[in-house]
Amino acid sequence: MKPTNLILLSSFNKCLFVLLVCFSLHSHKTFANTIFYQPLSQDSLITAPQWNALLDKVYEEGYREIVIQWTQYGPTNFVTEGNFLKEVLTIAENKHFRIWLGLYLPDDYYQIMGNNKPDSKEYFQKVLLENSRRVSLLEVLSLINEDSFAGWYLPMELTHEYLKSPPNQSRTDLSYALQSFILTIDENIAVSYFLSESTPLKAALFDIKQLTNMGFKLWLQKGNGLTKDTIAHQVIAKTGCNIGVISENFLQTSANNETFTAKKNPNLGPSDNSKHCQKSLTFSLRYLPYSPLPLG
């Protein structure tokens, strides 16, 4: 080969290398590609054309996964015959979304667990058993095709307050219950972890390590839409790429001791996760600026 050809080839390789580096950097600048949808009974008023338009817009913004937060909340089963959620799942599938199917959350869960009553351990175990049963029921229903199924979502939002040992009880009781639950699940199973204002950094890191070691896909709730400060940024900086980060696209309008209310945040787009490698998720479909879903 002539020297001039070698020079040209060297220059070409350098250009190719630069292009590959630029592509690599661009590919690491990721935006939230997963969005939560929390079904509520009033969403049955939304028509099929409205759902189509909403999910088209969501897809255009780069979202490729939807987390259905629950398929049953309290006594309301959203996937019974004739319920609107089944139609929504079909629309989402047709638009090539991958879907995390949420399980069951009792409507008194936060009240019981938040009060940290002596019987909360038995209550927690009972809810986990019901969720194991729920997995079996949903598998029989075959709500979505296998290619569209990303995994299960356990809607029992966990906190350090829930997981720490109550008086005269061992923390290992709840840990054992979670471990026993996940051993019954063959597919991916995700759960979220919420940081309260009082959560110590070391405690949060310990919880996260324990839950991920169990096999959960763990998603940390950032709490950026709430009127309270947390250590989320410190936790994110100290955890690996194996956890996800949920950003909130709402602004809390209620006081912390009042019934929760919020409004849409018109200034917030898809979450930029370019500074971190963690999976990025948005809560929620309801609070997107163009969403027709009622706020409650």
- The residue extents of the domains of the chain are 29-287
Alpha helices in 183-254 (DSSP H): 201-214, 232-238
Q: Return the pLDDT at 163.
A: 87
Give the pair of three-digit tokens for residue 151: 């995994």
> Taking CA 39 as the corner, what is the angle to CA 34 and CA 43, rounded to the nearest 5 degrees?
120
Q: pLDDT tens digits for 155-164? A: 999 999 888 8
Q: Return the pLDDT at 273.
A: 47
| pTM across the whole model | 0.84
DSSP 8-class letter at 20 = H
d(CA 166, CA 262) in angstroms, rounded, equals 32
Band of residue 19 on the pLDDT scale cut at 50, 70, 90: very low
Band of residue 3 on the pLDDT scale cut at 50, 70, 90: very low
* Higher pLDDT pick, 94 / 10: 94
Lowest mean pLDDT, pick from 12-16, 147-151, 180-184: 12-16
Whether residue 234 is predicted with pLDDT greater than 80 in this model: the reply is yes
Q: Return the pLDDT at 26.
A: 39
Q: What is the CA radius of gyration of the chain?
A: 22
Residue 144: Cβ-neighbour burial (10 angstroms; 0-12, 13-18, 19+): buried
29-287 CATH fold: TIM Barrel (3.20.20)
Orientation of helix 84-94 relative to helix 48-60, angle to 10°: 40
* Higher pLDDT pick, 1 / 149: 149
> Taking CA 29 as the corner, what is the angle to CA 27 and CA 31, rounded to the nearest 5 degrees?
110
Lowest mean pLDDT, pick from 14-28, 103-117, 230-244: 14-28
Whether residue 105 is predicted with pLDDT greater than 90 in this model: the reply is yes
Whether residue 17 is predicted with pLDDT greater than 50 in this model: the reply is no
Q: pLDDT tens digits for 240-283? A: 899 999 988 877 766 666 666 777 776 655 554 445 688 999 99
